[in-house]
Structure 1
Amino acid sequence: MMENPTRTPLITPRLGDSSAAAGAGSLPAVTPPPYARSMPHLSVPGASLYYETEGALSSPAILLLHAGIANLRMWDPQVAALAAKHFVVRFDSRGFGQTSTENVAFSNRADALALLDHLGIASATLIGCSRGGSIAIDIAVESPDRVAGLVTIGSGPSGFPEVELTELEDARFDELDEAFDARDWHRLARLEVALWAIGPTRDEKALDPEFVSTAYALNRVNVVHAEESPVPIPLEPPASNRVIDIEVPALVTVGEFDVTPALAQYEYLLSTLPFASGCTFRDTAHLPSVERPEEFERVLLDWLTSNGL
């Protein structure tokens, strides 16, 4: 799936796809919100997972899984609304935020399920952005009894084949590789946000400065983990050829100006998941829930209500 290197084309609405209108909305704070009442750590093999909960434990559970350029703070704008009718759980994965880890082999899936077990949650609706969405898909494939619903944002299933990049995207990824090889972690963090959250075809100066500041801040705190080397254990076989077996309601979303692979993965999931509906968020890239929080919240709450979740 190729795109114009100077501008990502509009994605034509299709069956099951409702395009979200652009709206400025309110923007998230990066500091912990006053409604984050429970902020403990959970000890798992080789790590201490930082997590937060909000809402009544007796309510339907939601597990929020953050993007690889963020941490659990990315969900701040949505937590209060979700917690009105749900028990909301979120945590920092290994290598992110306030979670600490040893350099051991581990499973992102096992970490997430260990947290649900710790809280006495039999099943939850999983909502994941980017890598968080990929982890959610893996869990839905491997442990279907633990998943009541699935929401992905700019995510793809593990094992998804490589997608040809535009020339501009290819150049941006080369810059990431150079920063990584130079071990310039602060530059790498900035470049990651510029590629994913800003988007390769958008001018940062034309975007809401508060969103830009928030996006950079969400990834900046992860730099302290740059020297950590935990080894994630992949799902075998990967999820790409198994998503057809996910038999729960699914909401597949993507930002209009996301990178080519994310747009291709969106189309694949929307056409392959048996009970999927989709939404393309206009005038946003890889973090629509951060850049367009009010619009994302409306779409998400409507979907949860319509599916009885």
Structure 2
Amino acid sequence: MNRVDLADGHLAYDDLGDTAGGQPVLLLHDGTLDRRVWGPQLTGLPGYRLLVLDARGHGDSATPTLPYQRADDVIALLDHLDLPAAFLVGQSMGGTTALDTALDHPDRVTGLVASGCGTSQQYWRGAFLVDLLHRQFEAAMRRDTAEYVELFLRMWVDGPARRPDEVPGGVRDLCRTMAMSTATRHARPDPVLPGRAADSWERLPGLTVPLLLLTGELDCPDVHEMADRIATAVPHAESLRVLGAGHMLNLERPDVFTAAVLRFLDTVRVG
């Protein structure tokens, strides 16, 4: 594990793959999880330098105590490594971070893949998510970590269309392990929430960075609606919806996810 020192802590990251000459690809994980989520991709992107970051308040990175923006942490890592730019591959929260970075720092982003997300100004309207988010908030107020994590799994691993026993084997267990780690290591009574890129939806038509959008067929309708909204706003965006998969695309269908990302990276690099 490597680290970047910050004013109020540090960021933890791994530097893997072709560290000698490969173009850098920064992998940005889902909220409540950590960089272990990228295990299936670590051997599937040959020829690239893979930077695998724990966001603040997750994994081995510090719990934030001062206001911050996740996109600024991306830039802090690139500056720390003297990298002028990198590909960004983000899932869920990581996808919103990637989009924020491309909007606020387009010269630092070679291309980006955003999976299962809208911009960081996301919104939730469907009854499935609204109900479970309310129950999760109540669990947090009761300090009921087990219930908090189980509701997270229901929303973002099972989704609205499946029972827990219908999720591919091992995916739920791994996500539970990561979510429990986050909930126990980084919980605090007065959490510091990250800032968001201003006017992100309105600014999308000006996004010039190459963009691939990925969604799972069994993800929440709110996610589908926001991803479609991005695709409509960014004329050059490429979209792929993966049949039979939910929100955790890279774990449920690592073959399809990794192949799509690798093709995108190779196309943008050659182009």
Q: Same fold (TM over 0.5)?
A: yes
* Residue aligning to 1:78: 41
Measured in 2, the distance between the counterparts of 1:129 and 1:207 equals: 18
For each residue in 1:151-180, what CA deviation from the matched residue of structure 2 results, as whole angstroms up to 9, or x when unmatched? 0011111335x35313x3333223212212
Partners of 1:185 and 1:226 within 8 A in 2: no
* Residue aligning to 1:294: 255
Where has structure 1 moved over 3 Å in runs of 4 or more?
Answer: none
* One-letter amino acid of the structure 2 residue matched with residue 127 of structure 1: V
* Residue aligning to 1:222: 182
Distance 1:299 1:45, change over 3 A: same
Partners of 2:93 and 2:120 within 8 A in 1: no
Offset at residue 102 of structure 1 (A): 4.3
Identity of aligned residues (%): 27
Higher helix share: 2
* Residue aligning to 1:258: 219
* One-letter amino acid of the structure 2 residue matched with residue 60 of structure 1: Q
Q: How many residues align?
A: 267
Partners of 2:56 and 2:64 within 8 A in 1: no
Offset at residue 261 of structure 1 (A): 1.7
Measured in 1, the distance between the counterparts of 2:11 and 2:129 equals: 33
Partners of 2:215 and 2:227 within 8 A in 1: yes
* Residue aligning to 2:86: 124
- For structure 1, which segment, 199-208 or 168-177, has the greater mean C-alpha deviation from structure 2 after superposition? 168-177
Say whether residues 1:67 and 2:30 are aligned partners: yes
* One-letter amino acid of the structure 2 residue matched with residue 119 of structure 1: L
For each residue in 1:267-304, what CA deviation from the matched residue of structure 2 results, as whole angstroms up to 9, or x when unmatched? 01111113211111122211100111112111111222
Q: What is the aligned counterpart of 2:151 among 165, 172, 191?
A: 191
* One-letter amino acid of the structure 2 residue matched with residue 253 of structure 1: L
Partners of 1:193 and 1:216 within 8 A in 2: yes
* Residue aligning to 2:246: 285
Measured in 1, the distance between the counterparts of 2:58 and 2:246 equals: 21
Measured in 2, the distance between the counterparts of 1:231 and 1:179 equals: 18
Q: What is the aligned counterpart of 1:171 among 131, 135, 145?
A: 131
Residues 1-309 of structure 1 mapped to structure 2, 5 A cutoff: 39-54=1-16, 55-82=18-45, 84-160=46-122, 162-166=123-127, 168-223=128-183, 224-227=185-188, 229-235=191-197, 237-308=198-269
Q: Which runs of 5+ in 2 are unaligned?
A: none
Offset at residue 252 of structure 1 (A): 0.3
What TM-score, normalized by structure 1, do the two folds share? 0.82
Local SS of the residue matching 2:83 = coil
Give me the CA root mean square deviation. 1.6
Measured in 1, the distance between the counterparts of 2:258 and 2:140 equals: 35
Measured in 1, the distance between the counterparts of 2:106 and 2:221 equals: 29
Offset at residue 146 of structure 1 (A): 0.2
Local SS of the residue matching 1:151 = strand
For each residue in 1:208-227, what CA deviation from the matched residue of structure 2 results, as whole angstroms up to 9, or x when unmatched? 23222122222121112111
Local SS of the residue matching 2:262 = helix
* One-letter amino acid of the structure 2 residue matched with residue 208 of structure 1: P
Measured in 2, the distance between the counterparts of 1:208 and 1:163 equals: 26
